[in-house]
Amino acid sequence: MAGSRLGQWLCLVVCILILLKAEGASIPITIVDSAVSSGALCLDGSPPGYHFEKGSGSGIDNWLVHMEGGGWCESVESCVSRRDTFRGSSLKMEKTMGFSGILGSKQAANPDFYNWNRIKIRYCDGSSFTGDVEAVDPETKLYFRGGRVWQAVIDELLAKGMQNARNAILSGCSAGGLAAILHCDKFQSLLPATARVKCVSDAGYFIHGTDISGGSRIESFFGQVVKTHESAKNLPASCTSKMNPELCFFPQYVAQTMRTPLFIINSAYDSWQIKNILAPTAVDSKKEWKDCKLDLKKCSASQLQTVQDYRTQFLKAVNTGLGSSSTRGLWIDSCYAHCQSGSASTWLGDKSTEVGDTKMGKAVGDWFYDRSAFEKIDCPYPCNPTCVSVDSES
């Protein structure tokens, strides 16, 4: 009897392992050891890492490079607090990771990209892969080297075959989605001139917005990120040559001069932006927005109007940045969400969110392959019954 039960348990374990492998749940981390010599290091001085699932069949020469998100550290103090976590050290990162959504390996769930070379670059620098400070303080032992980290990983991928890419996408979520915009043209310049190269930013279109106090704390915050990490040298020169480099951390100013086609996946009511750009805790001393920020259904009538006005700010910033470019793609929903491309349930699932009767996975695929343009902006909250709850920063 005991032997029979043991056999059943072993069978169950094997089945689970097979299922996990089929879902891409055991993709090992690759540490870029060669990055040490160039000083391309995480905040704690450890080498960076990424997860890589090789392409196959018709996708063997196609590359999708996705950058992880996870906020920023704008000061020495905040960078020290994340230095010894998985946001600042490859030593603290999980050794395996599953892929889904835009990185998914199942044809039915990701028909356009399932058999591409798919990579997720881990985020360990706190600057959207833009920092580059040579000096290292012996007391804090902080390495501000995000720009070098990005280059080191890309160089390794180029050597592994991306230099011969036929199709390529640079994408990311949240801080990684911002990085996809900031590094887009550089990424394109490193690939063959004959390749189709485009960029996809998910929840990365952070706007230069006005908060509930009438100020813009996000401007000072991003400014501090740029100063602390000395990011200006790695921000697009097409932007920094025209305005204060600290403003070139905002997509609406960078996108104006981008050459590479860009697709924006974003909620007009992005939950991170509502919580941190519109109503940051620092300007809500009485915590009047606490409940509203957790659930828009709990907003008062006046608060909801302020939220609707933020949508107007957001859409204006999108049009300021991308204008009427014929190569732009837009999938702007009205869900209270943040980062929607990384999950099978939101990318192209049976019950995934739709904008203009179209799920984001289909919209991005059609746009990338030039099957059809896609520029859809959802109606105002709370009009969309297909919304799926998502609030992630990676």
Residues tagged active-site: 174, 270, 338
- Dihedral angle of Cα 33, 38, 41, 45, to the nearest 10 degrees: 90
Tokens of 256: 């104006």
CA 392/CA 232 separation, integer angstroms = 28
Number of other CB atoms surrounding residue 297 within 10 Å: 11
Tokens of 341: 């491309």
CA 296/CA 102 separation, integer angstroms = 28
The alpha-carbon radius of gyration of the chain (Å, integer) is 21
Which amino acid is located at 106 in the chain?
K
Distance of CA 307 to the CA centre of its chain: 23
Q: Residue length, the chain?
A: 394
Nearest 5°: phi and psi at 167?
Answer: -135, 145
Tokens 């179209």 appear where? 358
CA 375/CA 330 separation, integer angstroms = 4
50 burial (CB, 10 Å; 0-12 / 13-18 / 19+) is buried
Instruction: Note whether 176 and 67 are within 8 A (CB).
Output: yes
